[in-house]
Structure 1
Amino acid sequence: MKTLALALCLTLSLFSLTLSAKTLTEAQYIEVFQGEDIQQQKDALASLVMAGMSEPKVYNKIEENLQKSLPLAVDRHSIDYSAWLLKGLAYSGDEKYIATFNAVIAGDYHSKLQKYARKSLKILDQYKVWAPILSNKSLYDDKFSQASNVLANALRSDVLELKLNAAKRVINQNIDSEQINEVLNEELKDTRLLKHEKQSIQAYAYMAKALAITGDEKYKPTIEQLAQDSSEKKLRKYASKYLKKYY
């Protein structure tokens, strides 16, 4: 459980660390990973947290770079690079890379790399669920960017942690998109996952804040409904607070 908690904390921290990370196309990702700029590669790896990137060619290239980096990972900088590649590979959610992580854990590598490989296994397990949701193009709207569509998928999902992180991302990036606002509005009208549990209440509270921040009168009735009728007292208090602050 402690290892899982550490892995989840790592993933959560990456959501905040990559607020400005730009989502790239498949060709752009491959171009970056074929290059020699390590910092550019790290930035690209960080952006995969919520990129909705499912193209195998991208992750195959990451694994190729990882295999090349491992024998050279003997100091702080080289170990850090390999660690980023491990994390990036985990965002694929592809079980075929379990063998890669296990080989690092069992191999003659630095203990820090073995630790990162264990964490990456936990992240991979999480992204087996998240990756198909983020990359599902069935609800994509061509009028909006890839990043917007991925966030919309996350907010529509039935995974509370994913909804929560997407809402935080909307707030922290000051995203005011018609697509995102409409999805938030619909999700808040039907709080189907709301329970008397901390994560559930937090998810809907952050979603309500993300919508209220727009100050758009169109969405005020939705926040008012939460403030008046939500089954959770804490959520009613949050919604009331947002009404006073943003309207």
Structure 2
Amino acid sequence: MFSLKPLLIGLSLVTLSSSAFALTTSEQRDYDRLASGDLTEIKQAAQSIVANNNANPEVLDVLAEFVAQNYLNAPEYQLDTIAWACRALGETGNPRYRDLLSAIVESDAHKKVRKYAKKSLRILPSTQVTQYVAGTIDLASIRTTPKTVGSSLTGEDKTLFDIASGNLIEIKMLAQKYTATGIPSQKVGDTLAEYFAQYYKTGQQHQYDTLAWICKGLATDKNGRYKTLIEDAEENSPIRAVRKHCPDDIDGKGPYYQAGTIDLTSIASKLQ
């Protein structure tokens, strides 16, 4: 399912701690959200894990512990968060969480939780690996985790950081906003365009909807700066959602944005 799966499954054979592996910016954000103990943050972390294919067991073990502690007697207000968590544990493709999901399916948990656990269980491979054991992570002890990288940013800096670091949930919301209101600055537009340029031919399924919204957002530029990029995507992207939502005729005489002009890695490193 994912190209990194064999590596991650191998990593899951060892005992994990909060310092076992270096986390990417996206993984650190998810870890901090999970460690916060806040239901809204935990749900956002689960959604981010699904959207970004974050499959690092160091992060997922924290999510698994939250599920293990709460799935059986969850109050109504927790159900949606736990359902998202079950979905995330399955979509990683890591069989480390198979026993936990099996226990949920066979339990007296709410039918919504059991439904998503069952769906996730079906897509996990049967590979024999060390299973996550409830109680391995002490959630109370990790709630002193530092704030997420980039969390202190505001305004345009936060926007640029979210795009450059590949935060799919934020990128999609930004693109939807720009589709309605227009792009706020050329700097933001160019950064969004560079992300689009890097993925409109090679993006994975979890990126399709976001890429389609980006194309619609870029098309609102009143000067047609992204004309050639959008038209190439409309003609040559293998992603149907992108071809469908990228207009094939945009006004604008240039200068046009050239892919590669913006260094996303440099922006993310500078702002983190």
Distance 1:173 1:71, change over 3 A: same
Give the secondary-structure state (helix, strand or coil) at the position aligned to 2:105: helix
Question: Structure 1 length as normaliser, TM-score?
Answer: 0.51
Contact residue 226 and residue 236 of structure 1 kept, 8 A: no
Contact residue 67 and residue 86 of structure 2 kept, 8 A: yes
What does residue 239 of structure 1 align with?
247
Question: Structure 2 length as normaliser, TM-score?
Answer: 0.47
In angstroms, what is the RMSD of aligned CA positions?
4.7
Q: Mapping of 1:205-244 within 5 angstroms? A: 208-223=215-230, 239-240=247-248, 243=250
What does residue 182 of structure 1 align with?
194
Q: Which runs of 4+ in 1 moved over 6 A?
A: 122-125, 201-205
Distance 1:192 1:84, change over 3 A: closer
What does residue 97 of structure 1 align with?
97
Distance 1:63 1:236 in 2: 38
What does residue 113 of structure 2 align with?
113
Q: CA deviation at 1:66?
A: 0.9
Distance 1:103 1:202, change over 3 A: closer
| Aligned residue among 158, 161, 168 for 1:145 | 161
Of Structure 1 and Structure 2, which has the larger fraction of its residues in helix? Answer: 1
Give the secondary-structure state (helix, strand or coil) at the position aligned to 1:103: helix
Deviations 1:144-186 (A, max 9, x none): 73653436xx8xxxxxxxxxx9995562153745343135347
Is 1:171 the equivalent of 2:155?
A: no
Distance 1:205 1:33 in 2: 29
Q: CA deviation at 1:207?
A: 5.7
Contact residue 51 and residue 147 of structure 1 kept, 8 A: no
Percent identity between matched residues is 23
Q: Give structure 2 stretches of 5+ with no counterpart.
A: 1-23, 126-159, 238-242, 255-272
Deviations 1:39-87 (A, max 9, x none): 33223333333345343221101111111112323x4224344323313
Distance 1:238 1:107 in 2: 47
